[in-house]
Amino acid sequence: MPEKRLISRSISVPKNLFPLLHDKKVPYNSASIADMIYRQKPPGKSSESIKIHINNKAFFTLPGKSVLEACLENGIYVPNLCFDTRLKSQGACRLCVVEIEGMPGAVASCVTAVKEGMKIKTDTPYIREMVKVNLELIISDHPLDCMTCQACGYCVLQDLAYIYDVKDIAYSGKVHEKKVFSDNPFIRRDNEKCILCGRCVRMCDGVVGANAIGYAGRGFESEIIPAFEQSLLDTDCVFCGNCISTCPVGALQSKPYIKKARIWETEEVKTVCPYCGVGCVLNLQVKNNTIVNVDSDIGGNPNKGNLCVKGKFGLDFVSSPKRLNSPMIKDKSGKFKKTGWEKSVSEVSSKLGSIIKKYGPDSVAVLSSAKCTNEENYLMSKFARAVIGTNNIDHCARLCHASTVTGLIPTFGSGAMTNSIDDIKYADAAIIIGSNTTEAHPVIGYELIRCVQENGLKLIVIDPRKIPITKYAELHLRQKPGTDIAVLLGLMNEIYKNGLVDRDFIDSRTEGFETFKASFADYSAEKAAGISGVDIDSLIKAAQIYGKAKNALIFYAMGITQHTCGTENVMAIADLAMMTGNVGRPGAGVNPLRGQNNVQGACDMGALPNMFSGYQGVENDNMRWRFEKRWEKTLPNKNGFTITEIIEGAAAGRIKAMYIMGENPMISDPDILHIASALKKLEFLVVQDIFLTETAEFADIILPGACFAEKDGTFTNTDRRVQRVRKAVKAPGLALEDWKIICMLSSAMGYSMDYRNPSEIMDEISSVTPIYGGISYDRLEEEGELRWPCRQHNDPGTSILHTINFTGGKGRFIPVTHTPPAEMPDDNYPFILTTGRILYQFHTRTMTGKVKGLNEIAPANIAHINAEDAESSGISDGDKVILKSRRGQITAGANVDANIKKGVVFIPFHYADSPANMLTNPAYDKKAKIPELKACAVKIMKV
Amino acid sequence: MQISDLPKYPLSQDEITVINEVIKKYRDKKGALIPVLQEIQKNIGFLPVEVQKKIAAELNIAEKEVYGVATFYSFFSMIPRGKNDIRVCLGTACFVKGGKKIADKIQKELGIKPGQTTLDRKYSLQVNRCVGACGLAPIIIINDKIYQKVKTEEVMDIIYSYNK
């Protein structure tokens, strides 16, 4: 043991302090206190583990871990301020000091790797004094205003001061007087409280990749600020708030949540984010039936405690005064009148009943919702099929990933993400094609960026726009919209030419390669580059990187699927992955990113015109009989209509009534003038939603639903992870959980549904849905999450698909050909319009439109246009412009954007007052019936 | 001193050319940030915010990184040194003999505070503690020349004599 250099000044450290640390019960699972709990279980003894001694007791841990991690995972608390499992350790705070035999003095345990036989002491008088002195030094320059500090109760520094009995300023001297940075809607930085642990900087650089803040100045003057002390709004900050979640003190605060509650007044409810498909776990802190703060478990799955701006700050809509709080019936003058449940339910049931009687059940169509729970979607499918008697049920997956299903089922046998988010770290290369990952799926974007920086993951972005993640890409291939197949065939040709195909995989796992070869045979790199406009050298390099990678992933989203050739786009991706053997291993697979919190679940639950839950075809007699037996009803045996066909049917008078739950086709679907005329033609329209949406305006009866925070249930995220949604607050007024509304309607129409709770619905789901067979609420409570297929009660679930066999037996290569978009630019409409999401809004803004801060940052629609095009059209930055297509026209602001390719205009589709879907082309993919939202011809003029 | 309070010192065409050349020379080179900052500091005498932003964009480095380095090393400055450096003594003797009034007058006339430089970069102002010439109080020093027993009403004439 080293010589104990006790500090000369006498300081008292309370004696029985370490039991206090070890038994520390954490009353609130908020971000910074959660740091004290290390979520990883100790690995135990195995062939890989090594033995170490901590405080004279033997423990096992894995090589590569730090001493701090080894202590924490074995339940031995070592004080720390600058450590976060999400970040690379830096050794800045000097609180995690321990004594290690053979090493002089005190060692910072977070930056010391464990070694076999290491003898560590965390609890010696020397260490105690060391920690206390370090704490005293920090506190000497930290304001002691805990009584008014928002972080009071979950501040690690405060806790440690309590434990080590640090009462007052031990070292008087110059203290910092620094300013507060708060000139943005979300993040407040008070640098007087900053202890310069650097966690926020490491978070911003290493995980989020925004590089918005950094150290400035030197010595006593150093502080953490945005460059040039500018507002965060002028930096690349994405307002994810992850810096706040990692701050161990009160220096960083969520501005909208300040002075809403003290942490001990709140109750914490763990649930799942209602925005995109990543499925981040949220901890809602609730006081007086209001959400007063949002956090996430650090280290927890799937998001590790990271969130994006919408999950962290975008939940104000829950308590919006605009929420629907009562059923409403449209009177003769066209005005909505509030009414009770009894009247509205009997009205809906009698109107639907008489329409079914008069025109038959197939004159009714149902739109289910990717925002609602699995249980609700299952009931909606049951309601359509068993109560109304039609298979005319669909939901917005038609508009996003219908072509994924029609493209991946024939090739792989399953249309879901093959890998899990946790898998990204095993990949050597990844292609992102047609996905603006950091804006549409931010938390998956963080993981990709982290892996690029920490693991050397080689990223290839194939996108017409210079999207934010290209900053971290090895290569950016900028194709013209609608030429993805040409690029993919070019890659395959290059890979084949250079002998980078995986022969063993092709021979043993797949069929049809020999016939398929003709597809890419004449797509030389020159030809592919010629059609798509990508740089030929980059194409060749990309083929080398993807072809040579040991494990490679492909991520794709709407840029691939929303084309008239969507199905073939997807098949081309599957072909590329199979030919290089990149399927079925950790870090190797094909991953369609799902856009809605529960779009995967809504598909799984059979909110589709041709499938029952678990992708069991309605035209397959054996599968239908299973449901007929369970539901005790004869069910329709012909595939129903898709959304696209339902709208056409309504326009043509074949569909007479619609029941729309939690969907807003008036903004989200292509050619909305056409949709408006179709909805007007309906004899009867029921809309069930949380707000009076643009679609609800057309309804005869509006039913108020409960939002995600007001109900129990489950969501299934993009990587097939079923997670629990929990009720945190009461729904406003008469609003009810959607499953309860469906049950009421069903019972009123003569088919009794009397579930007491969603758990009972899940039991029914698992009894008829083999891939959900092992899922129950008890297991979800216990295990947190389960990934389907999970067939039995003892089945741990499936993290990677197609490991030994493809779901469909063998993988099938399917030939593809390049087909240009249905509408190409011409002299009258010279630009290709492509639509998409932005970070600060979500879909039809039904939810984000009610969040003040988000609309301060992104208040209005902006069309992004290339500088050359802007010049030739006489448009400058900030002008108002008219965009016109063959279907309609809209006005928007103009942004001259270097990230846009010449000849292309990009516009987000969120804004009802400037709806991009007024312009888009409803032409659709023949197999998937998905409309071509990603390419149509427009002209653009200055107002 | 807040960055937002910094005046925007206009750069001459020659200076802009120098900056562009330095950036061009180091583009695509690894570890270029410090040499680029050094050369620009040496040639221009300071590192204006706009120039730092330009360096960040062209060298593909985060702005906060450039700013962090520029504020870390004392060799770098974000305020230019004026062509003529005025130092006013505020030691005890000069102070009681009217040094404070002189300093106030200069601040008012030139529109700058101690530590700042005029927008035309002709004058910068500093205040000193005693320079050990109390017998001559109050004094001001312009560049290397000492002016003794300065009267408040004369001081601007002395300063403006450097304007030629």
pLDDT digits (tens, 9 = 90+) for B87-129: 999 999 999 999 999 999 999 999 998 888 898 889 999 888 8
Tokens of A172: 């008087």
Q: Are A800 and A420 contacting, i.e. CB atoms less than 8 angstroms apart?
A: yes
Question: In a 3-state reduction of DSSP, which class is residue A157?
Answer: helix
* pLDDT, position A300: 83
Tell me if B78 is assigned to some domain.
Answer: no
Do B100 and B152 belong together in one domain?
A: yes
- Minimal Cβ distance to A212: which of B3, B53, B64: B64
Q: Which residues in chain B touch residue A230, judged by CB atoms under 8 angstroms apart?
A: 3-4
Question: In a 3-state reduction of DSSP, which class is residue B158?
Answer: helix
Q: Which amino acid is at A121?
A: K
* pLDDT, position A718: 94
Domain end residue (candidates: B21, B41, B72): B72
Report the residue of chain A nearest B73, measured CA to CA. Answer: A218
Q: Which of these ranges, A224-238, A361-375, A659-673, has the smallest mean pLDDT?
A: A659-673
Q: Report CB contact under 8 Å: A212, B66.
A: no
Range of the domain at A712: 360-400+598-787
Do A375 and A471 belong together in one domain?
A: no
Do B93 and B127 belong together in one domain?
A: yes
Residue A228 near chain B (CB below 8 Å): yes
Q: Between the CA of residue A242 and those of A87, A252, A452, A747, A816, what are the distances in Å?
A: 11, 10, 19, 46, 43
Distance from CA of A222 to the nearest CA of B (A): 8
Do B99 and B46 belong together in one domain?
A: no
* Total domains, chain A: 4
Do A633 and A661 belong together in one domain?
A: yes
Cα B112 from chain centroid (whole Å):
11
Q: Which residues in chain B touch residue A229, judged by CB atoms under 8 angstroms apart?
A: 2-4
Do A181 and A218 belong together in one domain?
A: yes
pLDDT in tens, B19-44: 999 999 998 888 899 999 999 998 98
Report the residue of chain A nearest B52, measured CA to CA. Answer: A228
Q: Report CB contact under 8 Å: B65, A226.
A: no
Q: Are B90 and B106 contacting, i.e. CB atoms less than 8 angstroms apart?
A: no
The per-residue pLDDT of chain A, averaged, comes to: 91
Most B-contacting residue of A177, A228, A466 (CB-CB within 10 A), to test interface = A228
Contacts of B53 (CB under 8 A, 6+ apart): A228, B63, B66
* pLDDT, position A177: 82
The CA-based diameter of chain A, rounded to the nearest angstrom, is 95
Name the pLDDT band for A27 (thresholds 50, 70, 90): very low
Do A159 and A181 belong together in one domain?
A: yes
For chains A and B, count residue pairs whose Cβ atoms are closer than 8 Å.
49
In the predicted model, is pLDDT for residue A15 greater than 70? Answer: no
Share of chain A above pLDDT 70, in %: 96
Residue A216 near chain B (CB below 8 Å): yes
Q: Report CB contact under 8 Å: B66, A215.
A: no
> CA-to-CA distance for A166 and A137, rounded, in angstroms?
10
Question: In a 3-state reduction of DSSP, which class is residue A560?
Answer: helix
Report the residue of chain B nearest A235, measured CA to CA. Answer: B63
pLDDT in tens, A817-826: 999 999 999 9
Do A783 and A835 belong together in one domain?
A: no
- Minimal Cβ distance to B64: which of A214, A217, A218: A214
Q: Report CB contact under 8 Å: B49, A229.
A: no
- Minimal Cβ distance to A235: which of B49, B63, B74: B63
> CA-to-CA distance for A612 and A600, rounded, in angstroms?
14
Name the pLDDT band for A501 (thresholds 50, 70, 90): very high
Tell me if A9 is assigned to some domain.
Answer: no
Name the pLDDT band for A20 (thresholds 50, 70, 90): very low
Range of the domain at B129: 84-163
* CATH number for A75: 3.10.20.740
Tell me if B79 is assigned to some domain.
Answer: no
Tell me if A248 is assigned to some domain.
Answer: no
* pLDDT, position A465: 93
Tell me if B77 is assigned to some domain.
Answer: no
> CA-to-CA distance for A511 and A514, rounded, in angstroms?
8
Report the residue of chain B nearest A223, measured CA to CA. Answer: B68
Q: Which residues in chain B touch residue A200, judged by CB atoms under 8 angstroms apart?
A: none
Q: Are A1 and A101 contacting, i.e. CB atoms less than 8 angstroms apart?
A: yes
* pLDDT, position A11: 54
Tokens of A682: 């309906």
Domain end residue (candidates: A727, A752, A787): A787
Report the residue of chain B nearest A216, measured CA to CA. Answer: B68
Tell me if A539 is assigned to some domain.
Answer: yes
Distance from CA of A452 to the nearest CA of B (A): 17
* pLDDT, position A502: 96
Tell me if A171 is assigned to some domain.
Answer: yes
Do B52 and B19 belong together in one domain?
A: yes
Residue A214 near chain B (CB below 8 Å): yes
Q: Report CB contact under 8 Å: B65, A218.
A: no
* pLDDT, position B1: 52
Cα Rg of chain A (Å, integer) = 29
Do A476 and A502 belong together in one domain?
A: yes
Name the pLDDT band for A39 (thresholds 50, 70, 90): low
Q: Report CB contact under 8 Å: A213, B64.
A: yes
Q: Report CB contact under 8 Å: B56, A235.
A: no
Distance from CA of A219 to the nearest CA of B (A): 9
Tell me if B134 is assigned to some domain.
Answer: yes
Tell me if B112 is assigned to some domain.
Answer: yes
pLDDT in tens, A387-433: 999 999 999 998 889 899 999 999 999 889 999 999 999 999 999 99
Question: What global pTM score does this model have?
Answer: 0.90
Q: What is the mean pLDDT of residues A37-43?
A: 61
DSSP-derived pairing of the beta strands A904-908 and A862-865: antiparallel
* pLDDT, position A24: 42
Residue A229 near chain B (CB below 8 Å): yes
Do B149 and B101 belong together in one domain?
A: yes
* Total domains, chain B: 2
State the ipTM, two decimals. Answer: 0.84
* pLDDT, position A852: 93
Domain end residue (candidates: B72, B107, B131): B72
pLDDT in tens, A272-331: 999 999 999 999 999 999 999 999 988 888 999 999 999 999 999 999 999 999 999 999
> CA-to-CA distance for A61 and A42, rounded, in angstroms?
7
Q: Which residues in chain A touch residue B66, judged by CB atoms under 8 angstroms apart?
A: 227
Do A623 and A705 belong together in one domain?
A: yes
Tell me if A541 is assigned to some domain.
Answer: yes
Q: Report CB contact under 8 Å: A214, B49.
A: no
In the predicted model, is pLDDT for residue A41 greater than 90? Answer: no
Do A630 and A660 belong together in one domain?
A: yes
- Minimal Cβ distance to B65: which of A214, A229, A236: A214
* pLDDT, position A164: 85
- Minimal Cβ distance to A227: which of B4, B67, B73: B67
In the predicted model, is pLDDT for residue A38 greater than 60? Answer: no
Which residues 183-212 of A have a C-beta within 8 angstroms of B?
Answer: 205, 211-212
Domain end residue (candidates: B72, B102, B122): B72
Do B105 and B155 belong together in one domain?
A: yes
pLDDT in tens, A201-217: 999 999 999 999 999 99
Helix H or strand E encompassing A662? none
Among residues A723, A754, A797, A387, the alpha carbon closest in space to that of A764 is found at A754
> CA-to-CA distance for A821 and A934, rounded, in angstroms?
9
Q: Which residues in chain B touch residue A212, judged by CB atoms under 8 angstroms apart?
A: 64
Do B54 and B95 belong together in one domain?
A: no
Q: What is the mean pLDDT of residues B34-60?
A: 93
Q: Report CB contact under 8 Å: A228, B73.
A: no
In the predicted model, is pLDDT for residue B83 greater than 80? Answer: yes
Do A422 and A569 belong together in one domain?
A: yes
Residue A219 near chain B (CB below 8 Å): no
pLDDT in tens, A769-819: 999 999 999 999 998 899 999 999 999 999 999 999 998 889 999 999 999
pLDDT in tens, A855-912: 999 999 999 999 999 999 999 999 999 999 999 999 999 999 988 989 999 999 999 8
* pLDDT, position B144: 83
Domain end residue (candidates: A787, A821, A840): A787
* CATH number for B137: 3.40.30.10
Question: What is the rounded (10 degree) CA torsion for A589, A590, A592, A593?
Answer: 30
Do A60 and A206 belong together in one domain?
A: yes
Q: Between the CA of residue A399 and those of A44, A603, A714, what are the distances in Å?
A: 48, 12, 23
Among residues A906, A931, A783, the alpha carbon closest in space to that of A439 is found at A906
> CA-to-CA distance for A556 and A430, rounded, in angstroms?
11
Q: Which residues in chain A touch residue B65, judged by CB atoms under 8 angstroms apart?
A: 211, 214
Do A864 and A741 belong together in one domain?
A: no
Name the pLDDT band for A12 (thresholds 50, 70, 90): low
Residue A460 near chain B (CB below 8 Å): no
Contacts of B153 (CB under 8 A, 6+ apart): none
- Minimal Cβ distance to B68: which of A179, A215, A236: A215
Name the pLDDT band for A851 (thresholds 50, 70, 90): very high
What is the spatial order of strands in the sheet that A119-121 belongs to? Answer: A57-61, A50-54, A119-121, A97-100, A107-108
Q: Report CB contact under 8 Å: B66, A227.
A: yes
Do B56 and B104 belong together in one domain?
A: no
Tell me if A118 is assigned to some domain.
Answer: yes
> CA-to-CA distance for B27 and B56, rounded, in angstroms?
11
Q: Which residues in chain B touch residue A228, judged by CB atoms under 8 angstroms apart?
A: 3, 49, 52-53, 63, 67
Handedness of CA B40, B44, B48, B50 (dihedral sign): negative
Q: Which of these ranges, A165-169, A655-659, A937-941, has the smallest mean pLDDT?
A: A165-169
Q: Which residues in chain A touch residue B71, judged by CB atoms under 8 angstroms apart?
A: 216-218
Tell me if B113 is assigned to some domain.
Answer: yes
Q: Report CB contact under 8 Å: A216, B67.
A: yes
Report the residue of chain A nearest B60, measured CA to CA. Answer: A471
Do B112 and B57 belong together in one domain?
A: no
* CATH number for A763: 3.40.50.740
Share of chain A above pLDDT 90, in %: 80
> CA-to-CA distance for A486 and B47, rounded, in angstroms?
48
* pLDDT, position A758: 96
Domain end residue (candidates: A719, A754, A787): A787
Q: Between the CA of residue A747 and those of A240, A684, A899, what are the distances in Å?
A: 44, 20, 55
In the predicted model, is pLDDT for residue A535 greater than 50? Answer: yes
Do A603 and A586 belong together in one domain?
A: no
pLDDT in tens, A428-459: 999 999 999 999 999 999 999 999 999 999 99
* CATH number for A566: 3.40.228.10
Q: Report CB contact under 8 Å: B72, A216.
A: yes
In the predicted model, is pLDDT for residue A18 greater than 80? Answer: no
